[in-house]
Amino acid sequence: MSDQLLSAVSQYGAPALFLVVAIAAVGVPLPITLLLIVAGSMVAQGAMNLWWVIVAASAGSILGDQAGYAIGRWGGQAAVTRLSRWFGKGVDLQAVEAKARAWGGPGIFITRWVLSPLGPWINLASGTAAFPWRQFVLWDALGEITGAAIYISVGRIFSDRVMAMDAVLGDVTWAIAALLAAVILGYQLVAYLRRARA
């Protein structure tokens, strides 16, 4: 499956990338990070235009995310449960919905590119939790454009090391996620200590 997708992007360029990222954003597990890195490498080779690739990847992801949000908002719990049964084995939807409520907009932003496996489930949960659509679009677009720009740039810079970069990025994104958690927890810890002293 991955092979076919990678060769489709390699052969047909930005339109194929747009289609694949849109499908992945709905919840189908596809190797999107690797696809974006490969697209970046193809930009470096002169086979694709940088801006077209970023626009195609961002637009495809945003479209797919909107579909996920709409399923959650108007499809109801039954549609969400059916979708999670197909693509999200082991995903605890109630836990994701609780996260979506707690994290709000920044949670949507972070799950577009750092905690991206959670992205499709946050879309559904944002829909079922009736998160305001305009705010969802804003945070979603910010996150998707950031993610696309970062991964495509990585592929462009390390254009002769795409497979290797895909392997390294797994650890890098977890390091970023852990760092973000440390910053948030550190902030809460300092606030708690200040309150205790006062």
Partner 1 sequence: MLVLGLAFVLAITGTFVFAYRAGRQARRIRAENEPIRAWMSIPFIAHTRHVPAPVLFQAIGLQAEPHDRRSIRHIAHDLKRPVPDLMAQVQRAVDAAAQASGNQPR
Q: Is residue 94 near partner 1 by the rule CB under 8 A? A: no
| Minimum CB distance to partner 1 smaller for 92 or for 184 | 184
DSSP codes of every residue in 111-168: HHHTSGGGHHHHHHHHHHTT--HHHHHHHHHHHHHHHHHHHHHHHHHTTT-HHHHHHH
Which range of residues in 17-25, 79-87, 148-156, 184-192 is near partner 1 by CB under 8 A? 184-192
Residue-wise over 29-61: b if at least 16 C-beta within 10 A, else e? ebbbbbbbbbbbbbbbeeebeeebbbebbbbbb
Interface region with partner 1, contact rule CB under 8 A, candidates 2-10, 77-85, 88-96, 99-107: 2-10
Binding residues for partner 1 restricted to 147-166, rule: CB under 8 A: 159-164
Binding site for partner 1 (CB under 8 A): 2-4, 6-7, 10-11, 41-42, 44-45, 47, 159-164, 167-168, 171-172, 174-175, 178-179, 181-182, 185-186, 188-189, 192, 196
